[in-house]
Amino acid sequence: MKRISSSRNRCLWSVSVFGFMGCLYCIHLLFMINQSLVFLPDETSEFPNNHDHNDDVDLASEEELKFPTFSSTGLATDGGANLLQKFLDKDSEIRTFIFPDATNAIDPRKGNDQFYYYPGRIWLDLDGNPIQAHGGGILYDKISRKYYWYGENKNGPTKAGLIKDLPRVDIVGVGCYSSNDLWTWKNEGIVLKAEETNKNHDLYKTNVLERPKVIYNEETGKYVMWMHIDNGYYNKAAVGVAISGSPTGPFSYLYSMNPHGFDSRDMTVFKDDDGTAYLFYDSLHNLDMHVSQLSRDYLHVTNVVKILVGKHREAPAVFKHRAMYYMITSGCTGWAPNEALVHVAESIMGPWEVLGNPCVGANKIFRDATFFSQSTFVLPMPGAPPGTFVFLADRWKPEDLRDSRYVWLPLTVEQEAYSESPGDPVIPEVSIYWHKRWKIPYKRSSNDSSSKFLIP
């Protein structure tokens, strides 16, 4: 008996010792994993206080703002370049976080999570297909009282580009989606199609069509689309114009041009409150930007001024708040993300001043990479206090561009924000807040039975 009990004791003793050592080992392992690659709690995830004035924007809780820090060897010293490499490496461990798979796609056909934006998730249209409207913009059409989202349909295979390290998709055309609530999108089809046979046509499929934007001309009753037109080498560098009598097209392609004789790459159009419209376009290999007032019919450029001279910025997204003009831009790094900047001007023709990086929340690396996305458009947020906007950006997926994602986030402007010292002019503050999920404060039209109309 004694022998049995003492051997059992010995046995229990060794089990405990090994168990204890095993536990220590597991703790050590977890610690190592944490240190070497995956998610550490983020000390910068606190929600900024200066957002309080927008309490009625249905913002996610602080819990939702928790953002992983990708801690990997060298990150602290290389200023994030390593992370950029990981972003570009399709096999890297950060990919599942940056490009979540289809299991948690935003699907408006399902009732749960209604109206919530999840930046970076696959977003399905009402047919259950991923939305194809990259590099896009939104038009609110007062006639149909609907929102239209236009963008690049990139639903084709990604091929090696003619320029080294710059993959591309053949032109499919400009996709158009309509919505009453900015969340549920009906596919209206391809409103400007690629040209399949005529190799000399601007829209011939092996060319480039990027960043289409549509504005409505009250005087002519026409919807006018401006877009970046290029060849596969990106050395045509032109801007194209198309026109339609309906927001859902079809759009007739008119022509392309090198505005004012300059090369033109990333671009956007902005329609001011008085109906005057402007074209912003990058020139001199993106070194300078130009802004030009459009003719009354929006089909031609008129006078031009240089802005952001020598600044090398891309992806302009222009908006206005209380008589001041703002613009978000990106740096120039192909499909890879980089730091956004916000610029401000009293006159749309300049001078434009740089305010800095508007990204807030998450962690530094993600703020410095615009939450792994690139600006494309800024839309006044319906139902929210003045100065609240929706920032629209693209999270490009270079090896499979059709699976690029959308990053929509709240943006606020505080015009009485701060002055550098007493008596100095007040500097406005523009902030784009990271949210894992968020939704627009829906103010619905009371006389609309569908109760789904968002009032702009």
As measured in angstroms, the least distance from the Cβ of 213 to ligand DGJ is 12
The candidate with the shortest Cα–Cα distance to 393, out of 325, 335, 309, 310, is 335
As measured in angstroms, the least distance from the Cβ of 333 to ligand DGJ is 8
- Beta carbon nearer to ligand DGJ, 125 or 210: 210
- Beta carbon nearer to ligand DGJ, 118 or 234: 234
- Beta carbon nearer to ligand DGJ, 34 or 333: 333
Phi first, then psi: give them for residue 249, nearest 5 degrees: 70, -160
Query: What's the half-sphere exposure (Cβ side, CA atoms, 13 Å) at 52?
Result: 2
As measured in angstroms, the least distance from the Cβ of 266 to ligand DGJ is 5
Rounded CA separation 371/394 (Å): 10
- Beta carbon nearer to ligand DGJ, 314 or 414: 314
As measured in angstroms, the least distance from the Cβ of 337 to ligand DGJ is 10
Rounded CA separation 262/238 (Å): 8
- Give bridge partners of residue 243 from the DSSP assignment: 224, 252
Look up residue 22 and give its two tokens: 């095993």
Phi first, then psi: give them for residue 128, nearest 5 degrees: 85, 15
- Beta carbon nearer to ligand DGJ, 244 or 268: 268
End-to-end CA distance of the chain: 86
As measured in angstroms, the least distance from the Cβ of 84 to ligand DGJ is 14
- Beta carbon nearer to ligand DGJ, 162 or 257: 162
Q: What is the layout of strands, in order, in the sheet containing 222-230?
A: 208-217, 222-230, 238-244, 252-257
Look up residue 257 and give its two tokens: 């041009």
As measured in angstroms, the least distance from the Cβ of 331 to ligand DGJ is 10
- Beta carbon nearer to ligand DGJ, 140 or 204: 204
Q: What is the 3-state secondary structure (H, E, C) of 325-358?
A: EEEEEECCCCCCCCCCEEEEECCCCCCCEEEECC
- Sequence-distant (6+) residues with CB within 8 A of 350 are 291, 305, 306, 307
As measured in angstroms, the least distance from the Cβ of 435 to ligand DGJ is 23
**DSSP 3-state assignment of 438?**
strand
Exposure b/e, 370-398, CB count within 10 A at least 16 = b: bbbbbbbbbbbbbbbeebbbbbbbbbbbb
- Cβ burial of 298 (10 Å; 0-12, 13-18, 19+) is buried
- Beta carbon nearer to ligand DGJ, 38 or 166: 166
> 98: which DSSP letter?
H
Residues that bind ligand DGJ (CB under 6 A): 135, 166, 210-211, 266, 314-315, 334-335, 374
Q: Which amino acid is at 235?
A: N
As measured in angstroms, the least distance from the Cβ of 17 to ligand DGJ is 59
As measured in angstroms, the least distance from the Cβ of 385 to ligand DGJ is 31
As measured in angstroms, the least distance from the Cβ of 187 to ligand DGJ is 22
CA separation, residue 259 to residues 14, 213, 281, 295, 298 (Å): 82, 17, 9, 13, 13
- Beta carbon nearer to ligand DGJ, 189 or 232: 232
- Beta carbon nearer to ligand DGJ, 51 or 265: 265
